[in-house]
């Protein structure tokens, strides 16, 4: 890879995760097992995405601006806790094969959509602008060492590697 564009890479990951979630929603009434597989990909991928941001991406911004405990990344970190709580509420439903998860799905989408929009329109472009190419590439290399959540189990099974 010659350059690592945060905006492109992370926005693409948002889109891919959205796709897994849509698959889960469209399949759950007709093919629960397939829906569950899509949910596992969504959950483990979202957990990895949050780890990439909190452990690697946000510190680039925080180190350069000195804004850590307040500022945009502090808000994003706080929203990640809301996203995780909403994600686990759906996970509990999926684990129990409870199809009535529409309120939990709506709650997750409400926080996730605005969160992703803010990252894509404000934070990612700011990071691409502020952080030099070499440091962005180094961050990309470090991201490879954060595994997907494959070591943890989901719904009683180990999720497939992505």
Minimum Å gap between C-beta 123 and Fe ion is: 8
Q: Give the nearer residue to Fe ion in terms of CB position, either 119 or 149.
A: 119
Minimum Å gap between C-beta 153 and Fe ion is: 24
**Does the footprint of Fe ion cover residue 37 (CB under 5 A)?**
no
H helices of the chain, in order, are 6-27, 32-52, 58-65, 72-95, 102-118, 124-130, 133-143
Minimum Å gap between C-beta 76 and Fe ion is: 5
Q: Give the nearer residue to Fe ion in terms of CB position, either 46 or 90.
A: 46
Stretch that binds Fe ion, among 32-40, 117-125, 126-134, 142-150 (CB under 5 A): 117-125
Residue with tokens 């959950």: 43
CB 80 within 8 A of CB 51: no
Minimum Å gap between C-beta 8 and Fe ion is: 13
CB 47 within 8 A of CB 149: yes
Minimum Å gap between C-beta 83 and Fe ion is: 7
Q: What angle do CA 19, 23, 29 make, to 5 degrees?
A: 160
Q: How far is CA 34 from CA 30, 47, 57, 137, in A?
A: 9, 20, 32, 36
Stretch that binds Fe ion, among 32-40, 87-95, 118-126, 151-159 (CB under 5 A): 118-126
Backbone CA torsion sign across 106, 83, 6, 40: negative
* Residues 53 to 72 in contact with Fe ion, rule: CB under 5 A: 53
**Does the footprint of Fe ion cover residue 119 (CB under 5 A)?**
yes
For binding to Fe ion (CB under 5 A), which residues are involved? 53, 119
């Amino acid at each position: 890879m010659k350059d690592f564009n945060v905006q492109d890479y992370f926005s693409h990951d948002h889109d891919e995760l959205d796709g897994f979630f849509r698959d889960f929603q469209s399949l759950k009434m007709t093919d629960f097992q397939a829906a569950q597989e899509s949910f596992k990909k969504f959950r483990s991928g979202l957990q990895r995405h949050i780890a990439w941001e909190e452990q690697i991406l946000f510190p680039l911004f925080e180190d350069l601006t000195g804004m850590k405990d307040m500022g945009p990344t502090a808000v994003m970190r706080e929203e990640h806790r809301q996203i995780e709580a909403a994600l686990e509420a759906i996970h509990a439903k999926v684990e129990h094969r409870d199809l009535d998860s529409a309120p939990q799905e709506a709650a997750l989408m409400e926080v996730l959509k605005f969160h992703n929009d803010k990252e894509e329109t404000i934070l990612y472009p700011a990071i691409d602008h502020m952080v030099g190419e070499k440091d962005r590439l180094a961050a990309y290399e470090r991201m490879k060492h954060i595994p997907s959540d494959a070591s943890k189990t989901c719904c009683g099974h180990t999720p497939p590697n992505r």
